[in-house]
Amino acid sequence: MEQKGTREQFELLDEMTPADKKILQILKKGRNVPINITDQLDYNDRYLRRRLATLHSNEIIQRVGHQNSGLYEITQEGRAVYKLFISIHNEDQ
Q: pLDDT by residue (tens digit) across 26-77?
A: 999 999 999 999 999 989 999 999 999 999 999 999 999 876 778 999 999 9
Task: Give the per-residue pLDDT at 9.
Answer: 86
Domain assignment of residue 82, given as a range = 7-92
Task: Give the per-residue pLDDT at 91.
Answer: 54
Task: Give the per-residue pLDDT at 70.
Answer: 85
Structural domain contains residue 2: no
Average pLDDT over residues 69-91: 87
Closest-CA residue to 19 (of 30, 9, 27): 27
Query: Residue 61 in 3-state DSSP?
Result: strand
Evaluate the CA torsion angle 6, 11, 15, 18 in order and state its sign: positive
Domains: count for the chain: 1
The total of other beta-carbon atoms located within 10 Å of residue 60's CB is 25
Structural domain contains residue 54: yes
- Domain with residue 66: its CATH number is 1.10.10.10
Structural domain contains residue 61: yes
Task: Give the per-residue pLDDT at 65.
Answer: 83
In 1-93, which ranges are continuous DSSP H helix?
7-15, 18-28, 34-40, 45-57, 76-92
Our measurement of the distance from residue 71's CA atom to the centroid of its chain's CA atoms, rounded to an integer in Å, reads: 14
Task: Give the per-residue pLDDT at 93.
Answer: 43
